[in-house]
A and B are shown apart, each in its own frame.
Chain A
């Protein structure tokens, strides 16, 4: 199993450009998440999904959109990139087990630089 994969690994954008980050998981997980990680800020949740066709806002959703058309994929879109969106983006997935101790599995991250 590949686990959680992310595409691309690194990208440079100009202000105002758009792009889509792709996350894929092969563990049949119901839940998927998009985080951003900035120095000193920890990981912050952007959007998440609790199943195919559903999405919800996290802590820092502004400037981003998401879609979960297939259970295994979770897309993060930036319609008009801004320098403040320069960050490392992590996707994660989890299976909602019977107990509250389910683990989130993270992808390797996408480093985005917006000039």
Chain B
């Protein structure tokens, strides 16, 4: 079983739609959680950290459910520029290495 699992997609949505991705992680001792964004043939970049209380950054909302060991990312009012692969990332403890999910591909169509 992979340590961090994501639906690879692709999710094809029209502009303006709301879309949600989920990610599950296997190690209950994981402490830090992130969403990274990766554009086609580019490097990953941090989109947002995920806090226990949930957090929002503009059109993006991240949620953490420790009991069920899953993380979610909600994108409202999708833009064409949101088309990318979204990577779910987990760290076991401070200073430890990151574990990446395989990514979920999002395609926003006009």
Alpha-carbon gap, A48 to B96, bound state (A):
11
Alpha-carbon gap, A96 to B102, bound state (A):
25
Q: What's the least CB distance linking A35 to chain B, in Å?
A: 8
Considering the complex, give the chain A residue whose CB is closest to the CB of B32: A100
B93 within 8 A of A: yes
With known contacts A42-B87, A43-B100, A100–B31 Cβ distance under 8 A: yes
Q: Sort chain B's interface into a size bin.
A: 20 to 34
Q: Which chain A residues border B97 with CB–CB below 8 Å? A: 33, 45, 48, 58
Main secondary structure of the interface of A (DSSP, over half): loop
A103 in complex: contacting residue of B4, B31, B42, B46, CB < 8 Å: B46
- Number of A-B residue pairs with CB-CB distance less than 8 Å in the complex they form: 43
Q: Which chain A residues border B41 with CB–CB below 8 Å? A: 109
With known contacts A42-B100, A45-B97, A106–B45 Cβ distance under 8 A: yes
Inter-subunit contact B43/A42 (CB<8 Å):
no
Alpha-carbon gap, A90 to B43, bound state (A):
7
Main secondary structure of the interface of B (DSSP, over half): loop
Inter-subunit contact B8/A90 (CB<8 Å):
no
Inter-subunit contact B103/A42 (CB<8 Å):
yes
Alpha-carbon gap, A43 to B38, bound state (A):
11
Inter-subunit contact B95/A100 (CB<8 Å):
yes
Inter-subunit contact A100/B46 (CB<8 Å):
no
B67 within 8 A of A: no
Q: Which chain B residues border A109 with CB–CB below 8 Å? A: 41-43
Which of B's residues lie within 8 Å of A, judged by CB? 4, 8, 31-32, 41-46, 49, 87, 91, 93-95, 97-98, 100-103
**A-B contact list, 26 entries, CB within 8 Å:** A33-B97, A35-B100, A42-B4, A42-B102, A43-B44, A43-B87, A43-B100, A45-B97, A45-B98, A58-B97, A90-B43, A90-B44, A96-B95, A99-B94, A100-B31, A100-B32, A100-B93, A100-B94, A100-B95, A101-B49, A103-B46, A104-B46, A106-B43, A106-B44, A108-B42, A109-B42
